[in-house]
A and B are shown apart, each in its own frame.
Chain A
Amino acid sequence: MSTQSNVPALEIKGLHAWYGESHILHGVDLTVNRGEVVTLLGRNGAGRTTTLRAIMGLTGARKGSIKVNGHETIGLPTHKIAHYGIGYCPEERAIFSSLSCEENLLLPPTLKASGAGTGQGMSEAEIYEMFPNLKERRQSQGTRLSGGEQQMLAVGRILRTGANLLLLDEISEGLAPVIVQALARMILMLKAKGYTVVMVEQNFRFAAPLADRFYVMEHGAIVERFAADELQAKMPVLNELLGV
C-alpha cells in the first residue's frame, strides 16, 4: 500500500464540463493527495458541486483529465468510475424513499478491488457504532429519518464499500449545531483512518478547522489555493471572494 502513496488520490487538469449547452467548468485544476482533507470553497453557482458531479461523470460533456488514484477516468461511464475508489455523497443526500434505512445503508456494492484505490470497507457493525441512530431506525422508510439521520445515512453507506476517496457535498447544510459537531468529529476520525476527503462546504466555520488545504472557485475555475497554515493570511481575500 505505501509504495503507491505518492500517487495523488485525485488529480484534475484542465477540466471543462457542460450541462447541455451551458459551459459550467472552465479549466479546473486541482490535486488531492492521499490522506488529505481538501475543502472546495466558493459562492453558490461557482461550480463546486459541478466539479464533484463531473468527477462522477454526472454532468453532460466533459473535457480534460481526471485521474482517480492514478487511473484516467474522463472517458468512463459513471458506473465504472466509482470502482476506482470513490464514495460520493451528493448535496441532495439522495436517500431512497422506496428503501428502508437498512436497505439504503447496504445498497452501494463493495467496490471491485483495484490496487491502491480501495481498501477494506467499514463493516455494518462499525457504521452502526459510529451512528447508533441508524441502527435504531434501520427498519424505517429511508425518507422518514430526520435531516441529520439522513445525512449520516448518506455518508455511512459509502463507508461500507471500500472506497477511500470521499466526495462530500455540503454535508453540514441545514443541520443542527450538535449534529454538525458530530460530523466534524467523524471527518477527523476518517482522516485518522487514512481516508482522503474532498468537501464542498458553504459553512466556513465547519470546514476551516478540518481541512489541510483549500481551493476557492469562481465562475467555474480555481482562483485561489492555499494550505491550512496560510488561512489567517488569506482571510481578507476570502472575505472578498466569499462574503465571509
Chain B
Amino acid sequence: MNFDIGIPLPALMSQLLLGLVNGAFYAMLSLGLAVIFGLLNVINFAHGALFMAGAVLAWAGMEYAGLNYWVMLIVSPLAVGALGIVIEKTMLRWIYKLDHIYGLLLTLGITLVIEGVLRSVYGVSGLPYSPPDTLQGATDLGFMVMPNYRAWVVAASVVVCLGTWFTIEKTKLGAYLRAGTENPKIVEAFGVNVPLMVTLTYGFGVALAAFAGVLAAPVIQVSPLMGQNLIIVVFAVVVIGGMGSIMGSIVTGLGLGIIEGLTKVFYPQASATVVFFIMVIVLMLRPAGLFGKEK
C-alpha cells in the first residue's frame, strides 16, 4: 500500500511510532529538568546519568536478584529518587545562592562520577535487557504492525506525564510547588517547609528520569553512556519548549520526537541535527521558548 510520497504507510507509521517513543523520553526528561530548574534554579546536567542509572538498576535487578521488569519499574525510580535526595541534601543545597553555572558544573561532575564508576565496572559495550514476556511481540493493526513494547512505552509515558501535569497544575501540592518556584521566601514565611519541598522535588524529578530509564532499557542499549547523547538533545528540547509550562514541556518533547522520526523518513541525513536546527530558530525568534514566560 503506497502513498504518492513514495513511502509505504507501514514504514511511515513505524518511524512515527519510533519518533513517539523518543519523544516520550524527551518529554519525561525535559519535564523533570524544567521542574528542577524552576524550583531549585539548578541546571541538572546529571539528569542523563540518573536516567542511565535507572536503566542499569533495572538490568542489575534482573541480573543479581532476579527481579523482573515490573518490579524494577517501581524499585528503580524509588532508589534513584533516594539517591537524588542524598545528592540534594549533601551537595546541591550549598550552591543555590550562586550563579547557575555552578549548578551546571556540579551536576556535570556528578554525571562524570556516576558514568565513570559504572563504566569501570561494566564497560561500554552494553548490557542486554529484553522486554517483559507480556509485552513482547507485535500487534497487526492493518495499516502497520505495532511492536507491543514500544506502544507500552508511549502509553506509560503519556500517563505519567499527564499525571505529573495534573498534580502540578490542579492540586494543592502543585500550588505549593508553583508558588515556591515564584517566591520561595514568602511561601516559607507562611510556614511551609520549602527546603523539604525542594529536596523532594529534586528526588521526584530524577525518579522520573529513572522511570524513563527502565522504560528505555529494552529499546536503547543499556550502557553507562546511554544518557550522554540523550541529555544533549533533551537540553535542546527544554530550550525550545521554554521553562514556563509543564504542558509545554510535554507537548514539545513529544512533538520534537515526531519531527525527528519524520525527518528520518524523508531526509535521514538531517535526523541527528534537526532538533538543534529548530533550537537555533526558536532562540532567534522567541528566546523564552515556545511556551516559555519572559522573565
- Asked if A116 lies at the interface with its beta carbon under 8 angstroms from chain B, I say no
**A161–B192 CA distance with the chains assembled, in angstroms:** 12
- Asked if B124 lies at the interface with its beta carbon under 8 angstroms from chain A, I say no
**A96–B176 CA distance with the chains assembled, in angstroms:** 10
Q: Which residue of A lies closest to B175 (CB)?
A: A103
Are B178 and A98 closer than 8 Å at their CB atoms?
A: yes
| Stretch in contact with the other chain, from A6-14, A24-32, A107-115 | A107-115
Q: Please, how many residues of chain A have a CB less than 8 angstroms from a CB on the other chain?
A: 24
- Asked if B137 lies at the interface with its beta carbon under 8 angstroms from chain A, I say no
Within 8 A of A (CB), among B182-235: 182-183, 185-195
Interface of chain A, main secondary structure: loop
Are B195 and A96 closer than 8 Å at their CB atoms?
A: no
**A60–B188 CA distance with the chains assembled, in angstroms:** 15
- Asked if A62 lies at the interface with its beta carbon under 8 angstroms from chain B, I say no
Interface of chain B, main secondary structure: helix
**Distance to closest chain B CB from A122 (angstroms):** 15
- Asked if B22 lies at the interface with its beta carbon under 8 angstroms from chain A, I say no
**A99–B168 CA distance with the chains assembled, in angstroms:** 11
**A81–B195 CA distance with the chains assembled, in angstroms:** 14
Are B189 and A109 closer than 8 Å at their CB atoms?
A: no
Within 8 A of B (CB), among A106-140: 106-109, 111
Within 8 A of A (CB), among B24-72: none
**Distance to closest chain A CB from B249 (angstroms):** 15
Are B182 and A161 closer than 8 Å at their CB atoms?
A: no
Are A109 and B190 closer than 8 Å at their CB atoms?
A: yes
**A103–B188 CA distance with the chains assembled, in angstroms:** 16
- Asked if A40 lies at the interface with its beta carbon under 8 angstroms from chain B, I say no
Within 8 A of B (CB), among A131-188: 158, 161
Are B188 and A79 closer than 8 Å at their CB atoms?
A: yes
For A98, give its contact among B181, B185, B193 (CB under 8 Å): B181
For A79, give its contact among B172, B178, B195 (CB under 8 Å): B195
Are A82 and B191 closer than 8 Å at their CB atoms?
A: yes
Are A83 and B191 closer than 8 Å at their CB atoms?
A: yes
Q: Which residue of A lies closest to B194 (CB)?
A: A79
Are B182 and A108 closer than 8 Å at their CB atoms?
A: no
- Asked if B179 lies at the interface with its beta carbon under 8 angstroms from chain A, I say yes
Are B175 and A82 closer than 8 Å at their CB atoms?
A: no
| B178, B179, B182, most chain A CB atoms within 10 A | B179
Give a binary string over B6-28; 1 marks a CB under 8 Å from any A CB, 0 the rest: 00000000000000000000000
- Asked if A4 lies at the interface with its beta carbon under 8 angstroms from chain B, I say no
| B172, B181, B190, most chain A CB atoms within 10 A | B190
**A111–B192 CA distance with the chains assembled, in angstroms:** 10
**A81–B194 CA distance with the chains assembled, in angstroms:** 13
| B185, B191, B195, most chain A CB atoms within 10 A | B191
Give a binary string over A31-49; 1 marks a CB under 8 Å from any B CB, 0 the rest: 0000000000000000000
Asked, given contacts A58-B185, A79-B195, A106-B172, whether A161 binds B178 with beta carbons under 8 Å apart, the answer is: no
Q: Which residues of B contact A56 (CB under 8 A)?
A: 189
Are A78 and B185 closer than 8 Å at their CB atoms?
A: yes
Q: Which residues of A contact B183 (CB under 8 A)?
A: 94, 96
Asked, given contacts A98-B179, A99-B175, A99-B178, whether A109 binds B186 with beta carbons under 8 Å apart, the answer is: no
Are A161 and B191 closer than 8 Å at their CB atoms?
A: yes
- Asked if A5 lies at the interface with its beta carbon under 8 angstroms from chain B, I say no
**A111–B190 CA distance with the chains assembled, in angstroms:** 9
- Asked if A203 lies at the interface with its beta carbon under 8 angstroms from chain B, I say no
Give a binary string over A75-94; 1 marks a CB under 8 Å from any B CB, 0 the rest: 00111111100001010001
**Distance to closest chain B CB from A157 (angstroms):** 8
Asked, given contacts A79-B195, A98-B179, A99-B179, whether A107 binds B190 with beta carbons under 8 Å apart, the answer is: yes
Q: Which residue of A lies closest to B245 (CB)?
A: A98
Q: Which residues of A contact B193 (CB under 8 A)?
A: 79
**Distance to closest chain A CB from B172 (angstroms):** 7
Q: Which residue of A lies closest to B179 (CB)?
A: A96
**Distance to closest chain A CB from B154 (angstroms):** 29
Q: Which residues of B contact A94 (CB under 8 A)?
A: 183, 186
**A99–B176 CA distance with the chains assembled, in angstroms:** 9
Asked, given contacts A99-B178, A99-B179, A107-B176, whether A90 binds B191 with beta carbons under 8 Å apart, the answer is: no
Are B175 and A109 closer than 8 Å at their CB atoms?
A: no
Q: 28 interchain pairs (CB within 8 A)?
A: A56-B189, A58-B189, A79-B189, A79-B192, A79-B195, A82-B190, A82-B191, A88-B186, A88-B189, A90-B186, A90-B189, A94-B183, A94-B186, A96-B182, A98-B178, A99-B175, A106-B172, A106-B175, A107-B175, A107-B176, A108-B190, A108-B191, A108-B192, A109-B190, A109-B191, A109-B192, A158-B190, A161-B191
> Which residues of B does A touch, CB under 8 Å?
172, 175-176, 178-179, 181-183, 185-195
> Which residues of A does B touch, CB under 8 Å?
56, 58, 77-83, 88, 90, 94, 96-99, 103, 106-109, 111, 158, 161
Nearest 7 CB-CB pairings of A with B: A82-B191, A108-B190, A98-B178, A78-B188, A94-B186, A79-B188, A96-B179
